[in-house]
Structure 1
Amino acid sequence: MSAAPNSSADKIHPLTSLRFFAAFFVVIYHTLGNLVRGRFLPANINTPHPADALPNFGSRFLSIGFVSVSFFFLLSGYILAIVYLRREKPIDRRKFFIARFARVYPLFFITLLMDLPFSFRMLARLSSMHHAMLKIPINFVVETLMLHAWLVKFSGINFPNWSLSAEAVFYLSFPFIGLPLWRLRGKARWTAAVLLFVGGQALVFAWSTSFDLSPLQPIPLLHLSTFALGILLASWQFDARRQSPKPWQAYAALVAAAIVMVAAVETSPWIPLHNLGDGILAPIFMLLIWALSSSATGLSRMLSVRWLVVLGEASFGLYLLHIPVLHIFESVHSIAQPWAYALYLALTIILSVLSFYFVEAPLRRWILASFDRHPRESLEAASIAQ
């Protein structure tokens, strides 16, 4: 029996549910400052947050919500490897690109349109109406083409969607790097993993000390190593010689991940912020995915309950909708009161679920029915393969 989830749904549900908590962490990171007036969150990744500015574990934890994006990147490589590489055959690029387009682009474009008027109004207030009329159309074209992680001066409409610009690079590279990484075995696989992690973090550190970067202006290639580590994790788990983790092994991995995560949070004021945002926590995420990708633990079974799985399936919508919904909500009422903030969160979650069932899934099916009648990705697999 293989260690990783196979075609049975119960083996993939915990990872689906985990996506909800990761996306919700991003939502809290982006919006809680509106409620607490920035008490918890550093205004910018370029702004150091010394220990005295983040005096307790809670404030430090909330200040690193952006690390969820690295988790998404790693999980994306992991799930795509499971779906496409287990047969160890070349990937049908046409089918693959159609499936990825159908998964991410419809809601990406819809939320881009939703946030467009608010971005225009904000820019007009900050500069001038003339400047906004010139710049926003260019921004819209650049973001529509998913080039805004490269052309950072022409971004800012629904800013969290920068990660999809990075994902587009991963999708383009996957048919070429996926199978070679999957076929690595033994020392070669471990060597590749170490080189990817250490080399990737060294590159991030060197790049960030040489250029002015921010968490919302990443270079996609700096995240590619995290995506590749997800592929290697899937390859290691699906090695035919490997057995399912025993319950004590899964629990040990969860405890280890928790301990290292607490240590990372406590020391976060001294860790280079760009490395935090660009994959330095990948080993923790790999432990979590390995431990939760089977039903060996009570936590895995808890995360497999249907309502959490539904929230996980809607996590992509939660991630993309929370800023447009925030702008719409605050045009009516500020979220600076606890009740208003709670209402905003509840509304965003509800809309993300409705979006999954009535926007994302129907549009995905329509695109696939038009261009690819026999996709390899199931709806559930696609829901966590952002």
Structure 2
Amino acid sequence: MEEKNYNIELIRTLSFGFVIVIHVANYYCRGYAEISRGEYGFALILDAMARVSVPCFFMMSGALLLGEKPNLDKNVRRLFRFFKVLLAWSVIYYFFNVYYMHSKVNLKAVLFEPVEAHLWYLYALLPIYLVLPFFQIMCWGMKKKYDDAFIAMCLVVVVAQYISSLFHEEPYYDVPLLGDRAYTFYFFAGYFIQKYRNKIPWRFPVVASIFAGSTAFEIVLTALVSFKKGDHYERLLEYGCPFVVISGVAFFMMLYKVHGGQIEFPRGMKKWMDRLGGCSFGIYLIHILFLDIFKKYVDPGDLSAYLVIPVLSVGLGLISYLCVYGLNKTPLRRILF
């Protein structure tokens, strides 16, 4: 059995925590008119810094899966598992939204759009997994010259798609292999970082500076545009934005190369990271239930962002972990996770 890479586990642990921070901080960012500029700035900084989490999830999948030998049977089981999870949580959130949140939800549209917004991740991941064996075969047959050309092409396409979207335009045809979003690019980026981890001439201070600089641009530009518009401007925080792409890739590279890619933790910490990693997918799926309950009774202007964002993020993570840990001890784990 291949030894677990704890650089990846560190990225996983931080990323699922950051996802919760995004959802809490973004609630305050979107409440721009109800909070002070100081609170908005605090929420925006946390929101922007945490945005690396979603790119990291896709890059982790690419790093772990694209280099594997293609296995159609294994991939069919993987697809079935994620589709089953998507249907199960769509039903859960349907009843939650209709009977508790009193929202109008169309369960019939579940094949085309998520019942709850954060389930978009599964909608993005399933098509990638659908073609994963063919991506694996392609990657196995590519030499460095084609790797370089492919990643350059991906970068050009992602930037072009984002810029065109700012003008409310889109290509007549999507580029094959990539689609109309940046997620497949992140998937391949993770694989190439893993493949060339010992050949890329990066230094930790340089990569950390790139991450910090790109994230700072996101924050400053978003704040300037938001202050000018008098409302939160979210386009610069989208996952296809070049600043988010740079920040996400730099953050992944930075942590992936800690201790030469062979980071070691004490046995007790490894045990907790294994537990958290095993629950991370479930935490992602369930935490919105508790966040929506909070949103139903508390508006952004009711409590200070300085207090709520850190406390609620930690609280949501803890209660979600306890729920998922308990559910993993029951037969429901086969359906829910």
Structure 1 length-normalised TM: 0.64
2:245 alignment counterpart: 279
Matched, 1:234 2:191: no
1:152 alignment counterpart: none
2:75 corresponds to which letter in structure 1? F
CA deviations 1:20-54 (Å, max 9, x no partner) are 221221211212455xxx2xx2569xxxxxxx889
Equivalent of 1:115 in 93, 97, 105: 93
Equivalent residue runs for 1:360-379 within 5 Å? none
RMSD after superposition:
4.1
CA 286–25 in structure 1, closer or farther in 2 if over 3 Å, else same:
closer
CA 24–327 in structure 1, closer or farther in 2 if over 3 Å, else same:
same
Q: Unpaired segments of 5 or more residues in structure 2?
A: 171-178, 223-234
CA deviations 1:123-174 (Å, max 9, x no partner) are 856xxxxxx3xxx23xx2333x3x32xxxxxx4x321110110101111121
Q: Unpaired segments of 5 or more residues in structure 1?
A: 1-5, 45-51, 86-90, 126-131, 149-154, 213-218, 368-382
CA 209–253 in structure 1, closer or farther in 2 if over 3 Å, else same:
farther
Matched, 1:65 2:50: yes
Equivalent residue runs for 1:1-386 within 5 Å? 7-9=2-4, 12-32=5-25, 38=28, 41-42=29-30, 59-63=44-48, 65-82=50-67, 84-85=68-69, 91-102=70-81, 104-120=82-98, 132=104, 136-137=105-106, 140-143=107-110, 145=111, 147-148=112-113, 155=114, 157-211=115-169, 221-237=181-197, 253-268=203-218, 269-270=220-221, 273=236, 274=238, 275-276=240-241, 279-288=245-254, 290-292=256-258, 296-297=262-263, 301=265, 305-328=270-293, 338=307, 342=311, 345-346=314-315, 348-352=317-321, 354-355=323-324, 358-359=327-328
CA contact (8 A) 1:196 1:225 kept: yes
Deviation, 1:107, is 4.2
CA 141–331 in structure 1, closer or farther in 2 if over 3 Å, else same:
same
CA contact (8 A) 1:223 1:279 kept: no
CA contact (8 A) 1:318 1:348 kept: yes
Identity %: 18
Distance 1:293 1:360 in 2: 35
Distance 1:284 1:113 in 2: 37
Distance 2:181 2:329 in 1: 28
Distance 1:205 1:174 in 2: 28
Pairs aligned (count): 304
CA contact (8 A) 1:295 1:301 kept: no
CA contact (8 A) 1:107 1:359 kept: no
CA contact (8 A) 2:90 2:116 kept: yes
Distance 2:128 2:3 in 1: 26
CA deviations 1:105-138 (Å, max 9, x no partner) are 454444333322343368856xxxxxx3xxx23x
CA contact (8 A) 1:73 1:223 kept: yes
CA contact (8 A) 1:71 1:282 kept: yes
1:326 corresponds to which letter in structure 2? L
CA deviations 1:262-299 (Å, max 9, x no partner) are 101211143862333873434314413531495545xx
1:313 corresponds to which letter in structure 2? G
CA 295–282 in structure 1, closer or farther in 2 if over 3 Å, else same:
closer
Deviation, 1:361, is 9.2
